[in-house]
Each structure stands twice: as C-alpha cells, then as structure tokens.
Chains A and B, each alone.
Chain A
C-alpha cells in the first residue's frame, strides 16, 4: 500500500489547539482506524479518523507535523497511507463514550455510528480547560469535564462516568485518551462487569507491524489494535510506559 494524495475539502476550528479537516476521500473507514499522514518536506505521523465518507481527522497542534497540517487550507493536499488498525464492537442498548483531549475525535465518530445502530450513547469529553474541549454533536447527551472547572464539571471523566453508571444501566464503555485515564476506566468497567474497549496510542514508524516501536508488551498496537478489550489491563506495559523513537522505555 503506497501513499496516495487527497485534497482537503474543509477545515474547521474545533478549539484553539485543534482543527478538523475533511478530505476528498470516501474510504469506508471505522473509528479506531488510522492513516499515516504525510506532508511532503515536513514529515509523517499516524492520525486516528474522526469521521468517514468523507474522511475526517481532528488534529491537535502538538508537534511539527500536526502544526503544518493545521496550517493547511481547503484545496491543499495530504498524502495518506492506510487505513490501518481495527475498530470497536458496538454492543447493547446504552453506551458511554469517553474522550480525553484529542481522543475525543474517534469517540465522537463512534457516537454517531452508535446512533445509526439504535444505541443510545452518552458522550463524556474531558480536557485540561475550556479552550481545549472539542465540539460535540447537539443530538448526543454530553457531559463536559475540565481539570480547572472552566467549563462543565470540575474534575476527571471517571467522576462523570461513575455518576452515569449510578443512574443508568450501561451495556458498553468506550474510551480514548491518556493511558492512565483509560486504565482507570478499564478497571471501573471490569469492576462492574461492563463490556469495555479502549483505543491506545503509541509512537509509530511504519503503521503496519514492522518497526516494533508501538509495542505494548508482546502486542503491536498498529496491527493487533489500536482498539483493545479489557484483556489489555493484564498487559505488563499498559498504563506504565511507551517507547520513544530510539526504543527506550518512557514512563507514562
């Protein structure tokens, strides 16, 4: 699979750090899946999809490649390789989708698919502060959380989750965000016997199971994941560390 060029159709500002780009690409790609996105002359990075038909990415300006992508305008091009990775399994009647920071992108997309499949989603979005919260669809019941209380509930997404679980019977929990956050969510789901899937993120060089950089224990995030069930809680590296570009362990 070689890189292919796609035109950017629209660019929408999500918040002061994040933009959502819509591309002239109609791949049937599911939440959890990702592409390696190349900006010639600048670099390449994996990005999780936040919508399909047409394809969307929600990209936070966190490094040189994402900064360059965020400066793109409609009519500009991006080069994509993929899609790679697996997706979520929608389950039951009522679900909670939890997005931490830019992890909200794929969770929002999963919410829309849930609605189409007759499942009632509750979307929980967490961020450091109001200016880092991503947008949410008006049609989905949404709980906002910020670390500083500048919008919504002051506190963690796990507090909002606990409250939802107290009031409703939830069949499935899905999350994407910082690994420590997902670890806490996974443990809560396991404790209550609720189906749960988590979308992991790791540094990658290839995206297709060759470089080994994205390993989490014996698992390769790019080909075995990036979506995992609760078995990931038993992985000795989950929630503890990832590996940097040299392969050194870095504590999370």
Chain B
C-alpha cells in the first residue's frame, strides 16, 4: 500500500524526495551536519544564515527548550560568507538532496555582497533571511516593510541568476500577506514562512530574563497555530510555493502544514525532542497518507 504513495515534491526547480526541509539555524553552518540531516531523511537542507563578516552571536544562555517551545537568541552567529561558501561547496559535493544556502545582512549593499559570494558556491537555492534590522531604515526589520523586502528580493534575484531564491518571512509584522505578495512581485521563487515569533522568558527565582539578549525567537509546538494561519493566508494570495515552517514535530503536523497550503515543510526545533528525526516524521506522514487514501503530497491541500 505504501509503495503507491509518492512523497516527492517539486518546488521552484528543486526536486525533493520528500517534503521535509532542514530549517535554517538548526545544526549550525557546517557541511558535515547538512549531510547528517540528509542521512536522517531530510528532503532538502538549509544552512544556517551567514553574513558578510563573521559573528560570534550573543552570550549564553542563548537557547532554552521545553516541551512546549524553544526560544533562542543565538544572535545569528556564523563564520562569515567567505568561510561559509566553502562549507556550501563541501555540502554540494557530499549531499544528494538540494542544498539551500541562507543569507542575511543589515543593508542592501551587504545583501548584494553576500549573495554574490554565496551564489559562486552554487547552492541549489538561496534563502534570504529578512528578519534582521536594516541600518538604513532606522534599524527596522527588512521583513516589516514591503519596500525593503521587495528591494532585497529584487537585488538578490538579479545576482542569483538562475538559482532559485526563497524569502523567509517574519511573523512579527502587521500584515505578512502583503509582504509575501511584494516579494513574489519582486521575483522570489518561493517563500519560507514563518521565522520565529518574538518573545521573552523570565526566571522567577532569578528575577531575571533567562536569555542574555533578553528577547528571542520562539519556535516549536507553541507556534504551530501561528504558522498554519500564516501559511494558509499566504498560499491563497501568492502563486509561488511555500516551505511551511513552525512547530512541525510529527508526520501529522506535517500533513496539517501541507493542508494549510505549504508545498514543503520546514523542520527545526522538532529534531531536539526525543525520538524525533526526519525519518520518523516522514514515516508518520507516509502512514497517515496510506491510511487516509492520499497518494501524493498535493492532494493534502485544503480545497478552500
């Protein structure tokens, strides 16, 4: 029965053996761990976002995990695009699944420079992380403004040439659908939604915020409803595919994300929970599809 099910998906010129994608930020920046994700069963892998120059990120505590959520303020640590492009080259030679290279910057000029360098490493796609402050716009996140999101998308698209570009959207905006439309209009080949939800945690006994950076991004099971709604609304407003990301921990979660309108599913925080792996999530999705009469991923999408 299972043999009749086709788990593969095609999105933005990428062919994935199954709809799971290692979300950026998980397992760091290096090629060996991207291969680990492939061996664990991922359909595609995304490297941790890199910037023009190396960044050590924030001081620990930077990541807190419990059964409901994860919150992190790692601070976009990365070795810089020079070294990261070597990792991407290595990943490209070791991995057989698509390798998506994630980039970020604090100005359009830096985005161009990082995109140029990373494109030379020939990843299968480039993810643009726009959830960082634009120093030229009073430090507002690129992701908050249709104008900023559009300019970054258009500039990187120009540099990337035939390499597909995915824009990762932030849920911490007033209207994520208008941002999604603006990046589609500016040439994005796909969307990744959502990035983490802004939050903080305090330890009552310490009477202090736990994260050294005070604020961080919430991921994991707690944000699944937020992600589902964003993906549902965006998928009804744009034609380009969405990698639905946020709280997917089981194969059933993955099915629900695909029903919302995602073409593929990002997996991140789930990998830190006991018994969770790409293999387990994909097997659960496949069983669900078999038991409920689905033979292909596209059939999961809700009719309205």
Q: When the two chains form their complex, are residues B60 and A43 in contact, meaning their CB atoms are under 8 A apart?
A: yes
B interface secondary structure, majority: loop
A244 touches B66 (CB 8 A): no
Check A206 against B62 for contact (C-beta < 8 Å).
yes
Q: Does B269 interact with chain A (Cβ within 8 Å)?
A: yes
How far in angstroms is the closest Cβ of chain A from B97? 15
Please tell me if B80 contacts chain A, counting CB pairs below 8 Å: yes
Q: Which of B51-59, B155-163, B286-294 lies at the interface?
A: B51-59
- Residue in A41, A205, A215 with the greatest tally of chain B CB atoms within 10 Å: A205
Whether B279 is near chain A, meaning CB under 8 Å from some CB there, is no
Known: A209-B271, A213-B28. A5 touches B65 (CB 8 A): no
Complex interface: stretch among B9-17, B204-212, B234-242: B204-212
Q: How many residues of B contact A (CB 8 A)?
A: 42
Task: Give the docked Cα–Cα distance between A247 and B30 (Å).
Answer: 8
The stretch among B71-79, B102-110, B170-178, B245-253 that forms the contact with chain A is B71-79
- Known contacts: A79-B206, A209-B272, A212-B33. The answer to whether A245 contacts B28 by CB under 8 A is no
Contact A215 B32 (CB under 8 A): yes
The answer for the CA separation of A108 and B60 in the assembled complex, in Å, is: 28
CB-nearest residue of chain B to A217: B32
Q: Is the CB of B59 within 8 A of A211?
A: no
In the complex, are the beta carbons of A247 and B62 less than 8 A apart?
no
Q: Are B63 and A206 in contact (CB under 8 A)?
A: yes
Q: Which of A45, A210, A218 interacts with B63 by CB under 8 Å? A: A210
A40 contacts chain B at the CB level, 8 A cutoff: yes
Q: Give every chain A residue within 8 A of B56 (Cβ-Cβ).
A: 244-246
Query: Residue A26 at the B interface, CB < 8 A?
Result: no
Given A1-B65, A3-B210, A247-B77, A212:B60 Cβ within 8 A: no
Residue of A38, A65, A220 ringed by the most chain B CB atoms within 10 A: A38
Q: B179 on the interface (CB 8 Å rule)?
A: no
In the assembled complex, the CB of A194 is this many whole angstroms from the nearest CB of chain B, namely 29
Q: How far is the CB of B283 from chain A (nearest CB, A)?
A: 20
Complex alpha-carbon distance, A205 and B66, angstroms: 16
Question: Which residue of chain B has the shortest Cβ distance to A45 in the bound complex?
Answer: B60
The answer on a CB contact under 8 Å between B33 and A246 is no
The residue that B54 contacts in the complex, of A36, A77, A208, A246, with Cβ under 8 A, is A246
A1-54: which residues lie under 8 A (CB-CB) from chain B? 1-3, 5, 36, 38, 40-41, 43-45
* 14 further A-B pairs in the complex, CB-CB below 8 A; given A210-B72, A218-B36: A5-B205, A5-B206, A43-B60, A44-B61, A205-B60, A211-B74, A217-B32, A218-B32, A218-B39, A243-B28, A245-B56, A246-B77, A246-B78, A246-B80
Q: Which positions in A face B, CB cutoff 8 Å? A: 1-3, 5, 36, 38, 40-41, 43-45, 65, 77, 79, 81, 205-206, 208-213, 215, 217-218, 220, 237, 243-249
Show 29 residue pairs from A and B whose CB-CB distance is below 8 angstroms, ordered by the A residue: A2-B64, A3-B203, A5-B206, A36-B61, A41-B208, A65-B60, A205-B74, A205-B77, A206-B272, A208-B272, A209-B271, A210-B63, A210-B65, A210-B272, A211-B28, A211-B63, A212-B26, A212-B27, A212-B33, A213-B28, A215-B28, A215-B30, A220-B36, A237-B32, A246-B55, A246-B80, A247-B28, A248-B54, A249-B83
- Interface residues of chain B, those whose CB is within 8 Å of chain A, are 26-30, 32-33, 35-36, 39, 48, 54-57, 59-66, 70, 72, 74, 77-80, 83, 203, 205-208, 210, 212, 268-269, 271-272
